[in-house]
Amino acid sequence: MERLKQILFDMQSKYAGFEWVGFYFMNHESMVLELGPYLGEATDHVVIPFGKGICGQVAVSGQTYHAPDVQSEDNYIACSLETKSELVIPIFDAEGILVAQLDIDSHSSNTFSESTVEELEKLCEMIGQNWEAYTS
């Protein structure tokens, strides 16, 4: 888990406006996401049912979801009243199983550029391909 924590520190250092960054782990048996390492304010959302909120939506779809303005999202659950935009990227292991997701919240609208999204998707792909090494 230390490697995942280091990635979060590096992200907050590299990217302006990443106020909350964290990983949610898939629990396929219970059909919930479970909060893993994160940086930012404490959250009440330590368990999120599949399908609920943007993170839960990504758990079902397996697709990156970029919300430039969370206020316009029907399925958004507020972690913080200050959050204006959110990016959630699925993480698949080497066998193609959805094992986790990266969740990033910003206090500004339109924080995530297309190039930033692509860069973070590549990072998540690398993490997934080496999932055991990152989580041991």
Asked whether 25 and 39 are in contact (CB, 8 A), the reply is no
Percent of the chain clearing pLDDT 70 (strictly above): 99
User: Tens-of-pLDDT digits for all 136 residues of the chain?
Assistant: 899 999 999 999 999 999 999 999 999 999 999 999 999 999 999 999 999 999 999 999 999 999 999 887 777 776 777 889 999 999 999 999 999 999 999 999 999 999 999 999 999 999 999 999 999 8
For the chain, what are the domain ranges?
Answer: 2-135
Residues 6+ apart with CB under 8 A from 84: 69, 70, 71, 106, 107, 108, 109, 111
Q: Which CATH class is domain 2-135?
A: alpha beta
DSSP one-letter code for 70: G
pLDDT digits (tens, 9 = 90+) for 73-100: 777 776 777 889 999 999 999 999 999 9
9, 20, 7: which is closest to 111 by C-alpha?
20
